[in-house]
Amino acid sequence: MFPTRPSGPLFGVLAEFDDAAAVFHACEGVRDQGYTRWDAHTPFPVHGLDRAMGLKPTVLPWIVFVMGMSGATAGMLLQWWTSAVDYPLVVAGKPLFSWQAFVPIMFELMVLFSALGCLFGLLGLAKLPQFYHSLFRSKRFEQVTDDKFFISIEAEDPKFDQAATAELLRGLGATHVETVES
């Protein structure tokens, strides 16, 4: 579940861009070339960048939905078991299984399970916590939180060729391209 360090001595190639439009168009170019193991790094969200990268929609909403329905079902089953099977007690002539009284607990368990599913699903899908990343070795990459935009292509990508990938990124408008060691 947790990511490991790359196996080889080379992590990949890191390209720096000056603005959001340049990195957006570069992402389209990298996507069109058929690379699969790469990422874009920006100091703020860039609208439409996920489409430019060719990313598929996330499965996180389905995880949250399934966990929410599981919570509601667990709440209903727990209350049914305790009031109708394990300890049946007739109160004021009401039926043993009265689902209307169970709705608040079902709702609360649905919210709890949904929140936990969202938290752990997000952590799992994002491969977090990640205590090490090879891009942290690059001094220029420190500017990603300020005002620079980057694209990194990993050496584990099937189409990766160090010289050809660096030349592609330069052709897409990169102001600086460097090789990043593992």
Domains plus CATH for the chain?
10-57+134-181 (3.30.70), 60-125 (no CATH)
Helix pair 162-171, 20-33: axis angle to 10 deg: 140
For range 124-147, the mean pLDDT:
91
What is the signed CA dihedral for 175, 29, 160, 49, rounded to 10 degrees? 90
- In whole angstroms, what is the distance from residue 6 CA to residue 43 CA? 25
At residue 182, the pLDDT reads: 85
- Greater model confidence, 3 or 143: 143
For range 35-63, the mean pLDDT:
96
For range 58-76, the mean pLDDT:
98
| Bridge-based pairing state of the strands 38-41 and 10-17 | unpaired
- In whole angstroms, what is the distance from residue 33 CA to residue 151 CA? 14
Enumerate the β-bridge partners of residue 12: 154, 180
Q: Is the pLDDT of residue 96 over 80?
A: yes
Tokens of 97: 């299984």
What is the band of 130 on the pLDDT scale with cuts at 50, 70, 90?
Answer: confident
Q: Which of 132-136, 138-142, 167-171 has the highest mean pLDDT?
A: 167-171
